């Protein structure tokens, strides 16, 4: 997809701040530090558009970015960061569950897992929510540049076995590996939702 414009629109701390103009939305979900913001920046070819950090667990809002004036990217807060309080963890669950079950505009959920590690318990729980929701989702395995090819192939098999999901797309925000595959998945869903409404 040719990116003609990409801009940060707003941070939503609760439902009343969600965008209501009806454009389709692509959500990025995954644990803290897995590379959600980096994936988003890499897809849009905009280095600092979504803030990346070495201090995980800080973003507690859903950040909306308008792309080509046609659809939104929604960068969701990360989960599973050990040092956040129990209350914050419970808040994440409520927020994500509400978002996934109620967000009509959601055209595609992109679940990120770290290509170097086995999916965690929370990764599995999120994957279950996504499967129950009956809405399109894909799995992207991040930081693929940190593994040898052999190890990457092995890990991708393991990830898709554990999440018993669709195929897993390996991604590297540093090299752009996987970019075309992720864009095709996004475009397919955006086109469908444009036809529907």
Ligand X SMILES: Nc1nc2c(ncn2[C@@H]2O[C@H](COP(=O)(O)OP(=O)(O)OP(=O)(O)O)[C@@H](O)[C@H]2O)c(=O)[nH]1
Query: What residues make contact with ligand X under the rule CB under 6 A?
Result: 30, 32-38, 52-54, 56, 59, 78, 142-143, 145-146, 172-174
Distances (CA, A) of 91 to 52, 56, 95, 196: 22, 16, 6, 33
41 or 193, CB closer to Mg ion? 41
Residue nearest to ligand X (CB): 78
Q: How far is the CB of 115 from ligand X (least distance, A)?
A: 9
96 or 193, CB closer to ligand X? 96
37 or 42, CB closer to Mg ion? 37
Residues 44 and 46: their CA atoms lie apart, in Å, by 5
Per CB under 5 A, 37 contacts Mg ion? yes
**Within positions 83 to 102, which residues make up the interface with Mg ion, using CB under 5 A?**
none
Helix (H, G, I), strand (E, B) or coil at 120: coil
Per CB under 5 A, 42 contacts Mg ion? no
Distances (CA, A) of 101 to 5, 78, 97, 109, 149: 29, 18, 6, 12, 37
Residues 16 and 20: their CA atoms lie apart, in Å, by 9
Say which entry of Mg ion, ligand X, none residue 32 contacts (CB below 5 to 8 A, set by partner kind). ligand X
**Phi and psi (nearest 5°) for 140?**
-120, 125
36 or 103, CB closer to Mg ion? 36
Per CB under 5 A, 109 contacts Mg ion? no
Helix (H, G, I), strand (E, B) or coil at 132: helix
């Amino acid at each position: 997809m040719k990116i003609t414009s990409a801009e940060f629109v707003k941070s939503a701390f609760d439902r009343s701040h969600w965008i209501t103009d009806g454009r389709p939305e692509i959500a990025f979900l995954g644990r803290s530090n897995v590379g959600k913001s980096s994936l988003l920046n890499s897809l849009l070819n905009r280095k600092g558009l979504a803030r990346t950090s070495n201090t995980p667990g800080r973003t507690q809002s859903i950040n909306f970015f308008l792309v080509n004036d046609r659809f939104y990217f929604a960068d969701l807060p990360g989960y599973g960061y050990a040092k956040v309080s129990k209350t914050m963890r419970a808040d994440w669950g409520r927020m994500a569950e509400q978002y996934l079950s109620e967000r009509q505009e959601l055209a595609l959920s992109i679940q990120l897992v770290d290509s170097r590690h086995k999916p965690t318990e929370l990764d599995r729980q999120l994957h279950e929510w996504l499967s129950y929701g009956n809405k399109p989702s894909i799995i992207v395995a991040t930081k693929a540049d940190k593994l040898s090819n052999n190890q990457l192939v092995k890990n991708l098999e393991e990830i898709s076995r554990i999440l018993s999901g669709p195929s897993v797309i390996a991604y590297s925000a540093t090299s752009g590996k996987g970019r075309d595959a992720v864009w095709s998945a996004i475009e397919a869903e955006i086109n469908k939702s444009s036809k529907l409404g």
